[in-house]
Each structure stands twice: as C-alpha cells, then as structure tokens.
Amino acid sequence: MPDSAVFAGRPTVLGHRGLGRDTVDGHAENSPGSILAAARTGLRWVEFDVRRTSDDVLVVGHYPTVGDAQFLTDLTLAQAEELGAATLAAVLDALPEGVGVNLDLKSSMEDALRPRAATTGALLARVAAAERDRRPVLVSSFDPAALLVLEEVAPGTARSLLTWVGFPLRKAIPAARHLGVQVVAAHAASFGPNPVDHAPTFRSARYAVDLAHAAGLEVMAWCPAVPEARELIAAGVDAVVVDDVPRSLVALQDVAD
C-alpha cells in the first residue's frame, strides 16, 4: 500500500470500543477511561462508537440506548449526560494529539425522517473535518448512505465500509471499491467458511486481501481472536480491531503495532 494509506502501510492494532469490548481492566467499553487507557498502551489508533442525541449533540456509545434502556434520539444532551453519556467533543479533546481515531458512525432509525444534512452522518462529518487538523481520522459505518453523506459534507475524510458478521468478502470488496471508500472492514468470520455464509467454496484470505489492495482498498478485520489475528496479519490485512488490547498487544507484538 502507498505511504499515504490510512494505516501507513503497517499492520495496526485497534481496540474495539476503546480498550476492548465489555469491560477490560476495569474500564467499561466506550467510556472515556477505556478510550484514554487504549491510547496510553501506545496504540497509534483507537476505535469507538458515535451516536446523536435529540438536540443533535454527538455522544460516545455503541447501543441506541443509554442508562435504563432510554433511546438517545429521545433524550437531550443534558438528559443523556445524567445517565452517563460522554460527548464526542470531550473525548476527542482528552485524547493526545496525533492518536488516530476510527469513529464508528451509528446511524439512528430516526435519520430516515431527516434531510441528509441533518443526519448523524452529516453531524459527524463536520466534526471529522475539523478533527483532521489534530490527528488521523477514519469514519466507519455499516450504513453505506451515511458514508456517501460524509463525503458530501466533508470531502476527503477517510471512510470505511463495515460489513456484518459472516458477510461475504465477494460482496464487501466490490461494494467498498465502488462506494469510493478507502477501507473495507469485515468481521473476522468473513475471511473463510462460517455458519452464516453457506457458499460451497471460498477464496483464501490472502487472495481476498490481495484483490482488495489491487482495488486500492485497505483491509481491516474486526473481532478476531488472537490466533485468527495472527493469520489475518500474515494474509496481509492492514488492521485488526481486537476485544482486549493489553493481552492482544502482548500476543501480537512481533507482527503488528
């Protein structure tokens, strides 16, 4: 990959939702403490999820609800903060400059009732454009339309198409290429036979990664176990998003950073 690539041509480890999914070393996923702890391990990039409140403030969180299952799109920022939500702005300001952020854009169902310029994707696009002065920024999403909106509002922001568990690479790679994004981010199960995709024959992970690179894409694998992460890095993936940063870094220190 060229030197201008998102991950600078080196296999990269990112923590899923900060230091890792659920709770890792006492830090709950997507909490400011988890995200900052991930940066303190020396990671070049951190990954976490972004949603919006009813009054159009971006907050960090994976699920559409906060607190006792109250939907963020029904809550003002003040109400969401009372339930423990942290703003994206506060987290970005706390992160050291230069640490890359992979922002997982979570569209809400209610975005369907909004004009494109008022969707979660458009709100995040404006933040991402400003943040590029401080650090590398990659916006990932399962929502292809949100990625198109992002390019409309903040041209040149690096984008990644996320695909769901077991989603075929034979569909994900051409979709990412023709959406014009820089990265295709597939679940670890997508790189081989899995219970979801019942195709009788699979191309090798190496073939798929090489083809993605030839198409100008970088490849990110999310949620591999450590043995799978090592195999995928050997197959040429550019980044792995792991569920436990401290233990994964020890296990992968000879093949990734």
Angle subtended by helix axes 169-179 and 144-153, to nearest 10: 20
CATH number where 139 lies: 3.20.20.190
Domain-located, residue 3: no
* Domain count along the chain: 1
Per-residue pLDDT tens digits for 133-166: 999 999 999 999 999 999 999 999 999 999 999 9
| Mean predicted confidence (pLDDT) in 202-226 | 97
| Tally of helices (H runs) and strands (E runs) in the chain | 9, 14
Is residue 257 in a domain?
no
Residue 47's Cα: distance from chain center in Å?
5
- The pTM of the full predicted model, rounded to 2 decimals, is 0.96
pLDDT range class, residue 2, cuts 50, 70, 90? very low
Six-digit token string for 176:
């990412």
User: What is the domain extent for residue 114?
Assistant: 12-252
Q: Is residue 2 part of a domain?
A: no
